[in-house]
Amino acid sequence: MASSRSGFGALLHAWRDRLAPADAGFPVTDGRRAPGLRREELAQLAGLSVDYVLRLEQGRAKNPSAQVVGALARALQLSNAERDQLYRSAGLLPPQDGTVNTHVPASIQRLAARLGDVPVGVFSADWSLVWWNTLWSAVFGDAAVVPPAERNLARALFGNGLAHAAMLPVQSERGPDVFEASIVADLKDAVSRYPGDAQLDRLVQELRVVSDAFAHYWAAQTIAAQHTTDRKTIQHPKIGNIQLDCDVLIVPGADLRLVAYTAATGSSDAGKLDLLRVTGGHTATALP
């Protein structure tokens, strides 16, 4: 096990050195000495503490969870083969076929990183948040403060854990019933396509127990429309209400959803986005 953990740390360090900061959405300055990502940048991208990343690289942190390894693989923009190697070096089985994919290809990360003027989050088929940019954190709060297993929109809407407690008040123009029903419809679709995913099954069974609303939508015979475009009003703790258009773009090959929020140029809401881009807004967390 010691050699496995040593190999895990060596892979982290080598792949961190390999990744260009610009491809991860970080500005490149003249005084930069690190050949690739700094340790604190990797920690930020993966939603982990800098100290934990350091201990992983040095082999002092033992038995990282599958969620942690998956977050690091996404942050490092690994290929599927490299991702599987990282899992094995941590003593874990790589993700199996027939389970929800949480890996964000490097090309999608580069694309999303270049959309720095708008809040962008990337979600898996079960509505788990697997990637977000700096402006997303400024608008909705830093999802890194929520444990990886809790970074799920369905948990935020219907659960009773940290994701639900951290969610900012967000109003859908289509109304709460339509929005909530659409998320459940998406989960139903995911279950039909990933019947062998134990984690997805646990999510559904848990929410059916803790939420009467979820159980109602799940049992409904009518098929609700899946979540696509919407207009939402976010009650931001620093700047008050901000109304944004929400677009959900599907990444077919990876089975991911790229969610982007925009405002019309010159509008007061666009001005609020500009303010958050400059000042940040790290006072609360949401998974809208």
The rounded radius of gyration (Å) of the Cα atoms in the chain is: 19
Task: Choose between 67 and 264: higher pLDDT.
Answer: 264
Max Cα-Cα span within the chain:
61
CATH 1.10.260.40 residue ranges in the chain? 2-89
Q: Among 13-17, 104-108, 259-263, whose mean pLDDT is lowest?
A: 104-108
Q: Is 206 helix (H, G, I), strand (E, B) or coil?
A: helix
CATH 3.30.450.180 residue ranges in the chain? 106-279
From residue 284, give the alpha-carbon distance in Å to each of 34, 106, 274: 31, 28, 18
Cβ-based neighbours of 194, under 8 Å, separated by 6 or more: 98, 99, 100, 125, 200
pLDDT at residue number 3? 41
CATH tag, 106-279? 3.30.450.180
Alpha-carbon distance of 64 to 75, in angstroms, equals 15
pLDDT tens-place string over residues 19-28: 988 888 887 7
pLDDT tens-place string over residues 109-159: 888 888 888 999 999 999 999 999 889 989 998 888 888 888 999 999 999
Nearest to residue 261, comparing CAs of 184, 170, 182? 170
In terms of CATH architecture, what is 2-89? Orthogonal Bundle (1.10)
